[in-house]
Every structure is written in structure tokens, then in C-alpha cells.
Amino acid sequence: MEKLSSEKSEFLIGVEACAYALNVSYFLLATGFSLVEVNPFRAGQFRKAQGRKAKTDRIDARTIAAILALGDHKTLSIPDPILDNLRELTRFRVDLVNERSSMIIHLQEALSVVFPEYEKVFRTLDSAGSLALLTTYPGPEHVIAAGEEAVGKTLSLASPRRMSRGMARRIIEAAKHTVGVVQKQPALGVKISILAKRIADLQGTTRDLDRQITALYNTLPQRPCGFPVGRAPSLATIVAEIGDIRRYPTLKKFLSHLGWCPQSFQTGNYRMEHPRMSHAGNKYVRRIIWMLSIFAVQHVPRYREYFQRRVNEGKGKMHIIVAVGRKLLSAFYAMLKNGTAYDPNWEENRRLAPARL
């Protein structure tokens, strides 16, 4: 590039959004070049639209160059270090949570074969007492052989405030009358023990990671304080994925970037009256906002009253939760944009505020 020109402003470099582009992207940004990130899916669709079925590095480079030639691109910039590290930690946390959820499903499947009555005694498989018991005594025969005293001691050590001798008595009684497949108990017992231990380890790792995320989140100069719902890991995920709030000049563009908006579809004189939600937004933020919306409807009076009022009006419950999510994102946008804390009575305060001349 230096052979072509010594002026870095004359270059516009396009990179695909993937892990392999991070090193060169950070290096070129620090050097002073202008970079544009191209979505790989968009690049693939653009290449197919040109009638090219072949895919090589040379063709991909020409495709990205053709996309850049269209103009109207937002150039990248080096992100804030705190937000950059928060994004890595929160995304890693999502991977750990997904891995734990997958293991719990495998654990349920194994128990449904060898000890189906177990879930009637322990409604929460991933509780500390349940995981400790399954790690030590992974099957009905192991539980019966250990006896009530040993099982009770294991439970009380894992969860001293909740587990008692009565729980040990119930699990042994269930083991004696189980309809599980005895033939598969040796193999499935090994599987259950390993899964329970790994789930417990993942839970401990996630708790340690949450402390690291919270400590880093608390160093932000401007963070949403007093938000109506959500703990630090959830709020840190949203803040990290949003990045610089100045990238979104309006609330509509902010919601569009996150995918919390209807998907437009129109052809000729036809226009879809009730379009579905767009799925083009940030998947990490969408997931967190959806869970926070459900929590807000259940536990926050303001949103619970709004939910009930819309239900009485005949609106669909899923559509109302989407509306609650939009309200939460709107509050987030205002807090980050203005650098102010959340005010639960902002509508009333705005109505009572004196008119500006």
C-alpha cells in the first residue's frame, strides 16, 4: 500500500467480520487506516447475485472491494478497552451457560432411563445437593448401598441449610421402588457422575466469571445505575454489545441495529400488516432483553400493570413482551445517551415539568 500512496486517508480497507480479521484490523486501525467491516453473509449473497458460484480468496477479495465501491459505509474505530474486554467475557459466559444447559439435558436423559423417579424428589437437577449426590452415588443401587446416613451427610455438606435427613429418606425410598433399567446402570452411572461433576465445575466457573465481569463493569465511567431489572452480568452484556452509543443518532436506528423491530415486507400493492420481528440484530442483546422483559412483567409493578392492561385490551401476550422489551431498550438508550440514572417516574415528572419558553 505504501507503494501506491503515502497518504493513508486515500485507502479504504474492507475486512470480513471473523476472528481471523481481529489482529490485522486492530493493527491497521492503530496505524491510521480506515476500515469497514463486511458481514460474511452479505458478502456471500453479493457474490451469488453477481452469478459467481465459485468461492476463492481472490473472488472474496474482489467481492468485498465491490461492496466498498457502493459507498455509504461506517468505518471502524478502536473500541473502548473496558467495553472490548467486557464483550469478550460476557460472550464467553454465554458459551459456558450454553454448555451447562446442554449437559443438564444429557443428565436428564440418563436419569430418565436408570432412575426416572429422581426428578420427583429433586425438582432442580443442578442444585448443589443434587449434583453432589449424583457425583458420589450416580444411580439407585449406589444410593441404596450407601444408606440413609451416608446420603444424608452428603446432602447436608453440599447444602446444609436446605437438605435434611428427610430428603435422604425420600431418595432412598424412590431408589428402592424405581422402574429404571438396571442393566444400563453401570454405564449410565459413570456418565451421570461425570456430567454432575462437570455441571458443578461449570457453575463454579460461571460464578467466578460473574465476579470478574461485575468488577470490570463497575469501572465504567457511565453505566446504567438503578435499572429496573437485571444484574451486573446481564447489564454488562448489553452495554458491551452496544458499544459507543454515539453510533446511533436516533432510537429507531438503535432498535434496528439490535433487531428489536418488525421486519418490513412489501411487494407491489401488498404490504404485510403484522410483520414478524427482525432476526438480523445482535443475538446476545436479543436474548438478554427477552429474559429481562419476562422478569419485568413478573416482578416490576409498572411493567406488570402495563402487561395486564394490554392483555385486557385483547393483545397477544408474546406481542406485549416484545413491547416491554422495546420499553426497556428505550430506557437503556436514554440513560446511555444522556448519562443519567434510571427514573421510574420519568413520565409523570415530564408531564409535571414546566413548559419551556
Which pLDDT score is estimated for 346? 60
User: Model's pTM, two decimal places?
Assistant: 0.83
Residue 71's domain comprises 9-78
Whether 91 contacts 162, CB under 8 Å: no
- If asked whether residues 96 and 62 sit together in one domain, one would say no
The dihedral built from the CA positions of residue 331, 334, 338 and 339, taken in this order, carries a sign that is positive
Number of domains in the chain: 3
- If asked whether residues 56 and 97 sit together in one domain, one would say no
Average pLDDT of each block of 10 consecutive residues along the chain (357 residues)? 87 87 89 88 85 84 90 82 93 95 96 93 89 93 92 86 78 92 91 96 96 92 77 90 87 84 64 64 87 91 91 89 90 84 65 49
Going by their DSSP bridges, the two strands 270-271 and 266-267 should be labelled as: antiparallel
- If asked whether residues 58 and 116 sit together in one domain, one would say no
Which pLDDT score is estimated for 54? 82
Residue finishing a domain among 78, 109, 126: 78
Which pLDDT score is estimated for 278? 64
Which pLDDT score is estimated for 226? 73
- If asked whether residues 121 and 245 sit together in one domain, one would say no
Residue finishing a domain among 25, 45, 78: 78
- If asked whether residues 55 and 112 sit together in one domain, one would say no
- If asked whether residues 108 and 73 sit together in one domain, one would say no
Q: Cα–Cα distance between 294 and 355 in angstroms, integer?
A: 36
Q: How many CB atoms lie within 10 A of CB 27?
A: 10
Backbone angles phi, psi at 13, to 5 degrees: -110, 130
CATH number (domain holding residue 143): 1.10.287.4070
